[in-house]
C-alpha cells in the first residue's frame, strides 16, 4: 500500500471577520485516497472551543494544541484539499510564527503521518520568513573611537596605537591572572579563528581597593596597566581590551586601539541579567553554556533560568520521579501532547544534578550567577498532571489561564502542596548557590481555586477574600521557607497582589510596563526592570508579516530596545529600589532554533549597555557600528 503523505498550509486574513479568518488546508500529496483520519496541529493561535468551524469538528484541545476531524464519510482524494475555516480565534495573528508549527495526521488504523508544514501566509500572498540581522552602520567620518559594548563610563584616550597581535599577561595579583585565563578561554570559544589573547602586548595588573565592585581602570602609555578591586573587574577590563583589539582589526577606519589615556569604568547596576525559558522548549547544557558565553562578553552577570511552565518541568527532584518521567516530556502518548512545535514523538528533557552543576559552574567562571525560577502557584499544569495528589479531589468546575490551560495552579489549601515544594526548594538550595530563588507568581487566573472546597474553607476563618489573597498567603509561606534556608525571594510583579510577598529580602521583576516597576518601588519592593516593550526578545522587531516573533507587547526593534531608559520617571526617594535590568526570552517560537540568534542578538547587547553604561555614555549610532562584532550563540 502506498505511504500516505500530506502538506499543511495556513492563511490569515484580518479583513474577514473579527479578529480575522484562519484558513487551514490539508493537501493529500500521496497516491491514495484517505478517510477516517484526524489532524493534530500545534501553533500559537487558539480556536475558541465553542466556535463554529467550517469543514471540521474540534475533537480535542489543550491550549494551542488542536485535534480536528472532517465530517463522517469525508474522503480526501490524491491531490485534493481539505479546507478548514475558523473565525473565532484567541487573538489577532500578526506574524507567520503564530501559525501551525508542527502537525500529524492520525490515520484510521492509528498510525501517524507527519505532513510538511508550510509557514502561514497573509491574505494568500506568497512570501518567506525574514531572518536578517541588523546591518552595521559606519561611524561618521573622523569619528574614530573604541569598539566596546557596553560602552565605558569614562573614556579619555587619544591617538591610534599599534594594534596588538594578542593580549598577554605581564604581572599582577592572583585574581587578575585568573581573570586573564577566563577571558582568554572565553575568547577562544567565541572567536576560535582569531588570536586575541596570547603572546603579545603584556598587560600589567594592579589591585586597587578604591575601585567599585566589577569596575576597572585601564591606563595606556608605554605599557598598559589594568587596575581593579576584584576578579570581576579584572575580567571586565580584559574583555574591554579584547573588544578594542577586534574593532581596530576589523574596522580600522572607525576604531582605534588607544596610544595613550585612560578608561575608567564601572557598572551602573549590579543586576545585569538575562532570562531564558527552558520549559517551553528544551535546551542542552552546551546550548545554555553557549548563551552564557555571549552574556559574559556583554558583561552581564545574572542568568535567570525559567525551569517550569505548563508545557514542561525541567528539574529532577528526588522523591518525585514523576516529574522527570512524565512532566518533562511531550508527545502523542505522554501526559502532555505535542505543543508549540514539538515533534509528534516523545520529546523533552530533564536536568539532573550533574547538568545543573555544569551550567551553574560555567556561569560562575564567567562572573554570572544563575537564579533558578520555579513558577508557582500558576503555570503548573504539567505538575498537576504528573502529581494528581496535589489537586483538591473535590474541586468543581474549570478555570483557565491566559494561555488556556485548565486548573493549572497549585492549591494553597493542601498540605501536600507544601510537602512537595519543600522538596523542590531543598533541591534548588543544594544545586544553585546564588542568594536568590525566583518563585514566579505570575498570571494566576482570577478564578483559580474558586471551585475548591478546601481553598474556600481557608477564606472565611482567616478573613481572606479572593484568589490573590490566597496567592499572597501561599507565596509568603514559600518565602518563609526560603528564609529558613538563608535565601532571598524573587518573583514576577503579580506577587505584589492580594497583600503580596514581604518586601524584606525580596525583589520583583516588573515586566508589564516600565511604570509598574515604579509603582512596586513605591510599595517598598526592590525592582528589576524587564518591561516587555523594551526587553522581551520574543517580541518581533517589526510589524512585517514575515518577521518572526510575537507582538502582544508591540514590536521591539533594536533601536527601541536600546532606547530603554530605566527609572527616568521614578521619584528620587525610590531610585535606590531599582537594583537592575534584565531581558527575557520566552521560547514559544524557538522550536525553530534558527530564530534564536535573530531574536536575541544584538538586542542582548542593547540591554547590556543600558544595564552597564550611564545614559550620557550611550550612542545608538556608535552601538550600531559596533554590534556586528559581538558574538552570537549560534544555536540554529
- Sequential DSSP letters for 481-509: HHHHTT-EEEEEGGGGGGG-S-STTEEEE
The CA distance from 59 to 39, in Å, is: 10
Residue 229 resides in a domain = yes
What confidence score (pLDDT) does residue 525 get? 98
In this model, does residue 278 exceed pLDDT 70? Answer: yes
Residue 357 resides in a domain = yes
Pair (215, 301) in one structural domain: no
Residue 315 resides in a domain = yes
Instruction: Kindly report the CATH number assigned to the domain that includes residue 72.
Output: 2.60.40.290
Instruction: Report the percentage of the chain scoring pLDDT > 90.
Output: 94
**Based on C-alpha coordinates, what's the Rg of the chain?**
26
The CA distance from 128 to 6, in Å, is: 20
Phi and psi of 566, rounded to 5°? -60, 140
The CA distance from 340 to 36, in Å, is: 26
Pair (256, 276) in one structural domain: no
Burial of residue 580 (number of CB atoms within 10 Å: 0-12, 13-18, 19+): buried
How many domains in the chain? 3
Pair (159, 227) in one structural domain: yes
Pair (239, 296) in one structural domain: no
The mean pLDDT value for 321-333 works out to 98
Neighbour count for residue 588 (Cβ, 10 Å): 23
DSSP tally for the chain: helices H, then strands E: 15, 31
- Sequential DSSP letters for 61-104: EETTEEEEEPPTT-EE-TT-EEEEEE--BSS---SGGGS--EEE
Higher pLDDT, 464 or 616: 616
Pair (241, 311) in one structural domain: no
Q: Left if phi > 0, otherwise alpha if psi is -120 to 50, otherwise beta: which for 473?
A: alpha
Instruction: Kindly report the CATH number assigned to the domain that includes residue 591.
Output: 3.20.20.80
Pair (299, 261) in one structural domain: no
Residue 623 resides in a domain = yes
Pair (339, 481) in one structural domain: yes
The CA distance from 530 to 269, in Å, is: 13
Last residue of a domain, one of 231, 265, 299: 265
| C-alpha distances out from residue 489 to 424, 479, 480, 595, Å | 14, 6, 9, 32
The mean pLDDT value for 609-616 works out to 98
Instruction: Kindly report the CATH number assigned to the domain that includes residue 200.
Output: 3.30.379.10
The mean pLDDT value for 278-303 works out to 99
Instruction: Report the percentage of the chain scoring pLDDT > 70.
Output: 100
| Beta-ladder partners of 304 | 275, 371
Residue 456 resides in a domain = yes
Angle, CA 338 vertex, CA 332 and CA 344 arms, to 5°: 60
Q: Is the peptide bond before 358 cis (omega within 30 degrees of 0)?
A: no
Residue 147 resides in a domain = no
Query: For 118-156, how does the pLDDT look when each residue is reduced to its tens digit (9 = 90+)?
Result: 999 999 999 999 898 999 998 987 777 999 999 999 999
Neighbour count for residue 634 (Cβ, 10 Å): 13
Pair (331, 197) in one structural domain: no
| Beta-ladder partners of 7 | 27, 116
In this model, does residue 1 exceed pLDDT 70? Answer: no
Residue 149 resides in a domain = no
Query: For 355-413, how does the pLDDT look when each residue is reduced to its tens digit (9 = 90+)?
Result: 999 999 999 999 999 999 999 999 999 999 999 999 999 999 999 999 999 999 999 99
Q: Are 323 and 315 in contact (CB under 8 A)?
A: yes
Last residue of a domain, one of 105, 122, 139: 122
What confidence score (pLDDT) does residue 160 get? 94
Q: Which domain holds residue 158?
A: 154-265
Pair (464, 596) in one structural domain: yes
| C-alpha distances out from residue 628 to 143, 363, 566, 583, 624, Å | 18, 24, 25, 19, 8
Last residue of a domain, one of 122, 145, 176: 122
Pair (47, 108) in one structural domain: yes
Query: For 105-117, how does the pLDDT look when each residue is reduced to its tens digit (9 = 90+)?
Result: 999 999 999 999 9
The CA distance from 571 to 330, in Å, is: 47
The CA distance from 102 to 117, in Å, is: 6
Q: Which residue has the cell 518581533?
A: 540
Q: Left if phi > 0, otherwise alpha if psi is -120 to 50, otherwise beta: which for 407?
A: left
Pair (254, 225) in one structural domain: yes
* CA proximity to 451, closest of 416, 497, 409: 409
Query: For 522-562, how does the pLDDT look when each residue is reduced to its tens digit (9 = 90+)?
Result: 999 999 999 999 999 999 999 999 999 999 999 999 999 99
**Side-chain half-sphere exposure of 568, counting CA atoms within 13 A:** 9
Residue 496 resides in a domain = yes
Q: Which residues are catalytic?
A: 443
The CA distance from 330 to 309, in Å, is: 13
What confidence score (pLDDT) does residue 483 get? 98
- Sign (positive or negative) of CA dihedral 138, 143, 147, 148: negative
Pair (292, 246) in one structural domain: no
In this model, does residue 82 exceed pLDDT 90? Answer: yes
Q: What is the DSSP letter of 619?
A: -
What confidence score (pLDDT) does residue 441 get? 98
Q: How far apart are the first and last CA of the chain?
A: 37
Amino acid at each position: 500500500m502506498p505511504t500516505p503523505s500530506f502538506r499543511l498550509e495556513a492563511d490569515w486574513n484580518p479583513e474577514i471577520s473579527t479578529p480575522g479568518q484562519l484558513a487551514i488546508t490539508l493537501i493529500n500529496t500521496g497516491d491514495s485516497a484517505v478517510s477516517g483520519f484526524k489532524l493534530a496541529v500545534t501553533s500559537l493561535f487558539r480556536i475558541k472551543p465553542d466556535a463554529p468551524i467550517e469543514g471540521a469538528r474540534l475533537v480535542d484541545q489543550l491550549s494551542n494544541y488542536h485535534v480536528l476531524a472532517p465530517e463522517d464519510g469525508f474522503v480526501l482524494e490524491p491531490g485534493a484539499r481539505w479546507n478548514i475555516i475558523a473565525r473565532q480565534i484567541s487573538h489577532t495573528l500578526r506574524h507567520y510564527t503564530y501559525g501551525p508549527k508542527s502537525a500529524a495526521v492520525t490515520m484510521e488504523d492509528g498510525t501517524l503521518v507527519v505532513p510538511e508544514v508550510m509557514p502561514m501566509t497573509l491574505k494568500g500572498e506568497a512570501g518567506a520568513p525574514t531572518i536578517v540581522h541588523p546591518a552595521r552602520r559606519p561611524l561618521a567620518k573622523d569619528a574614530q573611537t573604541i569598539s566596546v559594548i557596553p560602552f565605558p563610563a569614562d573614556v579619555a584616550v587619544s591617538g591610534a596605537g599599534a594594534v596588538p597581535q594578542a593580549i598577554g599577561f605581564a604581572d599582577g595579583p592572583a585574581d587578575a591572572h585568573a581573570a586573564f585565563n577566563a577571558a582568554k578561554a572565553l575568547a577562544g570559544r567565541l572567536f576560535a579563528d582569531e588570536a586575541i589573547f596570547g603572546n603579545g602586548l603584556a598587560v600589567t595588573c594592579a589591585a586597587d581597593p578604591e575601585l567599585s565592585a566589577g569596575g576597572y581602570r585601564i591606563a595606556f602609555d608605554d605599557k598598559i596597566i589594568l587596575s581593579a578591586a576584584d576578579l570581576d573587574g579584572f575580567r571586565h577590563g580584559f574583555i574591554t581590551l579584547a573588544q578594542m583589539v577586534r574593532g581596530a582589526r576589523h574596522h580600522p577606519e572607525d576604531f582605534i586601539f588607544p596610544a595613550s589615556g585612560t578608561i575608567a569604568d564601572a557598572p551602573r547596576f549590579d543586576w545585569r541579567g538575562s532570562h531564558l525559558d527552558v520549559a517551553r522548549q528544551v535546551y542542552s547544557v552546551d546550548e545554555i553554556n553557549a548563551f552564557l558565553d555571549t552574556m559574559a562578553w556583554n558583561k552581564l552577570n545574572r542568568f535567570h533560568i525559567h525551569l517550569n511552565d505548563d508545557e514542561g518541568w525541567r528539574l529532577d527532584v528526588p522523591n518525585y520521579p514523576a516529574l522527570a518521567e512524565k512532566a518533562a516530556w511531550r508527545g502523542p502518548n505522554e501526559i502532555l501532547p505535542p505543543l508549540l512545535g514539538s515533534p509528534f514523538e516523545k520529546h523533552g528533557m530533564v536536568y539532573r544534578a550533574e547538568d545543573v552543576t555544569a551550567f551553574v559552574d560555567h556561569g560562575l567562571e564567567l562572573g554570572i550567577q544563575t537564579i533558578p525560577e520555579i513558577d508557582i502557584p500558576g503555570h503548573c499544569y504539567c505538575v498537576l498532571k504528573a502529581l494528581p495528589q496535589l489537586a483538591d479531589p473535590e474541586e468543581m468546575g474549570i478555570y483557565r489561564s491566559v494561555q488556556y490551560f485548565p486548573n493549572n495552579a497549585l492549591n494553597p489549601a493542601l498540605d501536600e502542596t507544601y510537602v512537595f515544594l519543600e522538596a523542590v526548594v531543598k533541591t534548588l538550595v543544594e544545586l544553585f548557590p546564588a542568594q536568590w530563588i525566583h518563585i514566579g507568581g505570575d498570571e494566576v487566573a482570577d478564578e483559580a481555586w474558586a471551585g475548591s472546597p478546601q481553598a474556600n474553607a481557608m477564606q472565611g476563618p482567616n478573613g481572606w477574600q479572593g484568589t490573590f489573597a490566597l496567592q499572597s498567603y501561599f507565596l509568603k509561606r514559600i518565602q518563609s521557607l526560603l528564609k529558613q534556608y538563608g535565601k532571598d525571594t524573587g518573583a514576577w510583579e503579580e506577587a505584589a497582589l492580594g497583600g503580596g510577598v514581604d518586601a524584606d529580602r525580596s525583589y520583583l521583576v516588573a515586566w508589564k510596563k516600565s511604570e509598574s516597576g515604579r509603582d512596586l518601588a513605591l510599595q517598598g519592593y526592590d525592582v528589576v526592570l524587564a518591561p516587555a516593550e523594551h526587553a522581551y526578545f520574543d517580541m518581533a522587531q517589526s510589524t512585517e508579516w514575515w518577521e518572526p516573533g510575537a507582538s502582544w507587547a508591540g514590536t521591539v526593534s533594536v533601536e527601541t530596545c536600546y532606547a530603554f531608559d530605566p527609572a527616568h520617571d521614578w521619584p528620587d526617594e525610590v531610585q535606590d529600589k531599582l537594583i537592575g535590568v534584565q531581558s527575557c526570552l520566552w521560547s514559544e517560537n524557538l522550536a525553530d532554533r534558527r530564530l534564536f540568534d535573530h531574536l536575541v542578538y544584538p538586542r542582548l547587547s542593547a540591554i547590556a549597555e543600558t544595564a552597564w553604561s550611564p545614559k550620557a555614555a550611550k550612542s545608538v549610532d556608535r552601538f550600531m557600528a559596533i554590534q556586528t562584532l559581538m558574538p552570537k550563540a549560534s544555536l540554529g
